[in-house]
Structure 1
């Protein structure tokens, strides 16, 4: 049980309800914060186009079904996922009708997870699932797009599948566990795309013609059992990937149950594909990014741990000497996405909230 509780289903475990999560306007906490976008359905990953236009993945609100079994009940499909464009103070949904899955009995959803833009204006989106990809056959054609990487040419509202992450999980199963996939973090590179599969505990590379390879696998590790007794295995749950100043790939982990405080690491992936802990001691990492000053910014979805019942997140700066500074915490309600641009951190706030999610800009200096 609780093999890979990724970002959506964790809110269920904490007992948080989206109907009671307080989303306090940014200016109630700091006059330096600014709301960039509002009225979003579970905003997740953020990506900037070269011209400064911001794109936001919205996981959606699920739908009436069909429904498929999930380790915590069942998830029901709806074409409510989207990508929102934020440009010159205006926001609009430029991609709609993307697959979204609501975990019944909760307000938790799986859907569009992260976005990335390349220099030619092509928009890439990871579509989450958080389940056995073999179950997609029970869904309509649009629902079967879950657990894939898609590409669109903005402003055209159409898209195509670049790579089927779910099919790769069934065929290769990099971590040799139960079939489970939830494509989350996305990084665009000159040679292709890199995807952090939070369900598959793997970092995947996508090359031309949708060819997928395993770049790294994140094995479970033993942690203290909160109920007492012997230590228990904890899944890694990699949620985010970025390129470091040294050219290496860096991956942040949410961790699986029991989500220990201080138990999340940022890993550096070496040339041999072996992940090594670069910086440890974080709690439930949901996103990471390097700033122009080579500092690492770490976004925690729950600063006090996902079992604390406290939805407060945190944005933490780690300078090149290893010094840590909490840039923001109060007012961040289960934040889920991070991007750095022009001296500001852009954060998806209340990333598990329907209709009231935000993107906020936080000055870094």
Structure 2
């Protein structure tokens, strides 16, 4: 695995993006928003999700520790936190620790650990043993054992690259699948698809009910293997789609959301293309989870014009939302939200205006507002947060 495949580039380059890019997206004149803090003191927060009872789950990638350029280090500072709300305040119910990788391969710190988190069901409460009434809380951990050991032989860990189900009441994890090593092996077998294969970086997870059969299904996006896969009940990965390479290098898919039509919608980072050609090079692909197409042709462009997408979701009105981590802002740090009407995917509305710096996760809360993790790519201890974005129009 090449370390340069990591999603998180050096922090100096984060700021240079704002200087390199000229201009940026403009919000609709009829759209205004307010932004309010929800939770602070987080370490590189990534995914955020809500269950059917309105509880919020946040994935923290973990903390950075000084290390020489080249190898990985590992700590137990990754977390998934559960919060409930009372009187408008978020209260932490539990926090479950996970493995977290750190390195300085780009000359600056980066952290990879718990990434995507997804939740459904109404049985994730204290009196339910965490598993009743369809409760599913899943988290995917970045990278893969084989990929990390190719760079840092002998590093000891057990959770990297795995998919876990969390008990909704206690946070106790259950290992469901070694996604990372399966994807790493698949990319090695399909090395002709991209020059840096083998690679794997499982980055987002979606647990959902099939709209036709009502069965629970789990999908994972791998930002290293560039795949959309379904995790079967026995833990094996079924490849549904390979996200096509962009004109410069691989697209780096980072997120998945289920649309009103039951299809999967996948956002891409396209970091190199956005550097080379300016903002607006990222895409959203539509993938039928039940497709009979080849994995090479199953992904179809649905929307374009986004900039370094890192997370996505649909709201209850059917709008697609994405976090654009490095979208330039003339009056603030990089970072923006994009809202796209389902029936008009060319009508992008930019929201945030520099007030959602380096966003890494997004989900709609029970109050209808969008909850966003910020400072996701910054490794300064405790700088990460969740903010609430409420729009008017």
Band the TM-score falls in, shorter-chain normalisation:
0.7 to 0.9
Structure 2 unaligned regions, length at least 5: 17-31, 122-133, 210-215
Cα offset, 1:123, TM superposition: 2.0
Where do residues 169-208 of structure 1 align in structure 2 (5 Å cutoff)?
169-173=183-187, 176=191, 177=194, 178-190=197-209, 191-208=216-233
Normalising by structure 1, we get a TM-score of: 0.82
Cα root mean square deviation, aligned: 2.7
Match of 2:177 in 1: 163
CA distance in 1, matches of 2:63, 2:265: 31
Structure with greater strand percent: 1
Match of 1:128 in 2: 142
CA distance in 2, matches of 1:138, 1:12: 31
CA distance in 2, matches of 1:214, 1:62: 33
Match of 1:150 in 2: 164
1:243 corresponds to which of 251, 254, 258: 258
CA distance in 2, matches of 1:241, 1:106: 28
Cα offset, 1:6, TM superposition: 3.9
Cα offset, 1:64, TM superposition: 7.2
Match of 2:155 in 1: 139
SS at 2:54 equivalent = coil
2:337 corresponds to which of 295, 302, 315: 315
Match of 2:27 in 1: none
Contact 2:84 / 2:93 at 8 angstroms: preserved in 1?
no
CA distance in 2, matches of 1:125, 1:3: 23
CA distance in 2, matches of 1:45, 1:362: 16
Contact 1:40 / 1:357 at 8 angstroms: preserved in 2?
yes
Contact 2:253 / 2:268 at 8 angstroms: preserved in 1?
yes
Cα offset, 1:129, TM superposition: 2.2
Contact 2:80 / 2:97 at 8 angstroms: preserved in 1?
no
Contact 1:61 / 1:102 at 8 angstroms: preserved in 2?
yes
Structure 1 unaligned regions, length at least 5: 17-29, 223-232
In the superposition, relative to structure 1, how do residues 220 and 4 fare at CA in structure 2: closer, same or farther (>3 Å)?
Answer: farther
Cα offset, 1:37, TM superposition: 0.6
- 1:346 to 2:371 alignment: yes
CA distance in 1, matches of 2:262, 2:33: 36
Structure 1 range deviating more: 235-244 or 96-105: 96-105
Match of 2:74 in 1: 77
In the superposition, relative to structure 1, how do residues 347 and 199 fare at CA in structure 2: closer, same or farther (>3 Å)?
Answer: same
What do the CA deviations read for 1:215-235 (whole angstroms, capped 9, x no partner)?
Answer: 11013232xxxxxxxxxx311
Contact 1:57 / 1:83 at 8 angstroms: preserved in 2?
yes
Cα offset, 1:189, TM superposition: 2.3
CA distance in 1, matches of 2:229, 2:270: 18
Cα offset, 1:40, TM superposition: 0.4
Where do residues 49-88 of structure 1 align in structure 2 (5 Å cutoff)?
49-63=51-65, 73-88=70-85
What do the CA deviations read for 1:264-308 (whole angstroms, capped 9, x no partner)?
Answer: 000011422411110011110111112222221121001139xx9
SS at 1:144 equivalent = coil
Normalising by structure 2, we get a TM-score of: 0.77
In the superposition, relative to structure 1, how do residues 118 and 138 fare at CA in structure 2: closer, same or farther (>3 Å)?
Answer: farther
What do the CA deviations read for 1:137-170 (whole angstroms, capped 9, x no partner)?
Answer: 7232xx2310111112133243121111122123
How many positions carry a matched residue from both structures?
A: 332
Where do residues 221-232 of structure 1 align in structure 2 (5 Å cutoff)?
221-222=246-247
Contact 1:55 / 1:85 at 8 angstroms: preserved in 2?
yes
Match of 2:282 in 1: 264
In the superposition, relative to structure 1, how do residues 31 and 263 fare at CA in structure 2: closer, same or farther (>3 Å)?
Answer: closer
CA distance in 1, matches of 2:271, 2:348: 24
Match of 1:24 in 2: none
